[in-house]
Amino acid sequence: MAFGFFFDNARCTGCKTCEMACKDYRDLGPEATFRRVIDYEGGTWNAPSGTETAVPENVFAYHLSLACNHCGDPACTHVCPTGAMHKDDQGLVWPDERKCIGCGYCTMACPYHAPFIDQRLKKSSKCDGCRARLAEGLAPVCVEACPVRALDYGDPAELVVRHPGAVRSILPLPAEDATWPNLFILPSPAAALAAKAGGHIANREEI
């Protein structure tokens, strides 16, 4: 079985409710996060001269809510020396804390920066797709919390049917063939602009 997230890049307002709901549910401090919202910006405009005002030309900004993508070919599980970081039979990728040695190899390999070393546990920690909630028939807490319903979850085969036009990478994410993420994104027009002109992460300090 596989598990994935859907993210509507056109709907997301960057409010970070998903991130906060996750922090609250998983009791994470300010130093840790399982889900992060990236602000991605780019483009240029004409500088105002005299009485003119600035004329936006190709300026864009969008938000990308990102947790673990429970990848089809996870970089973290390949490198984990103990097998602690594993994909379970629900398709969820998470570290078994009975085996994790906290070496940080998974944090080094993941191009989405999903795992991190929890300084309290001294072990790797990350989004597990809210497997405890899933077992109770509930949605992951981030999906449930999103006020604009920009997040969805489920079997990837069903997600692509429910959300036609979804892609698996927009900037600044790596190409999908790096790890085959189970992340399905409905790209915004801004993301199409970014793909042409490039941009940059505007809130690196936050993520």
Tell whether residue 72 is a contact of another protein (CB under 8 A). Answer: no
Which residue in 12, 22, 67, 75 binds another protein (CB under 8 A)?
75
Which range touches another protein (CB under 8 A), out of 10-18, 93-101, 128-136, 157-165?
93-101
Tell whether residue 37 is a contact of another protein (CB under 8 A). Answer: no
Distance (Å, whole) CA 121 – CA 157: 35
Which ranges constitute the DSSP H helices of 27-104? 75-79
Distance (Å, whole) CA 13 – CA 39: 10
Which residue in 10, 20, 79, 167 binds another protein (CB under 8 A)?
79
- Judged by beta carbon, residue 32 or residue 59, the one nearer another protein is 32
Distance (Å, whole) CA 126 – CA 192: 30
Query: Roughly how many angstroms between the first and final C-alpha of the chain, as a whole number?
Result: 30
Tell whether residue 93 is a contact of another protein (CB under 8 A). Answer: no
Which residue in 10, 14, 116, 134 binds another protein (CB under 8 A)?
116
92-123: buried (b, 16+ CB within 10 Å) or exposed (e) per residue?
bbbbeeeebebbebbbebbebebbbbbeeeeb
Q: Kindly list the residues in this chain that would bind another protein in the complex (CB under 8 A).
A: 31-32, 38, 75, 78-84, 98-105, 107-113, 116-119, 121-124, 171-175, 178-179, 200-201, 207
